[in-house]
Amino acid sequence: MKESIAGGGVFERLADDSFFEEALTVLNDTVAWDVSGHYDPITCIDIDPFVAGRQKGLRPA
């Protein structure tokens, strides 16, 4: 995740720890960030669940 944030683009806003935590949500059974504040699935940033599942240190809920 750090690489995606450092690369800028849509993930750049997630570098702010407060925004990262406040916007964090679950959408379509995967982690997502509500960047608009309206919980609109069109404007949320999400992580592909297959990519998230391959990350070290993560375990199923």
Domains of the chain, by residue range, sit at 2-53
Q: How far apart are CA 50 and CA 3, in angstroms?
A: 17
Least reliable range by pLDDT among 14-18, 37-41, 49-53, 57-61: 57-61
The predicted-structure confidence for 11-41, as pLDDT tens digits, reads as follows: 888 899 999 999 999 988 888 999 998 988 8
- Beta bridge partners, 34, equal 44
> Among the residues of 1-61, which ranges form H helices?
2-6, 17-23, 49-53
- Pair 30, 49: CB distance under 8 Å: yes
Q: Are 45 and 11 in contact (CB under 8 A)?
A: yes
Nearest 5°: the CA angle 41, 18, 15 is 80
- How confident is the model at residue 20, as a pLDDT? 92
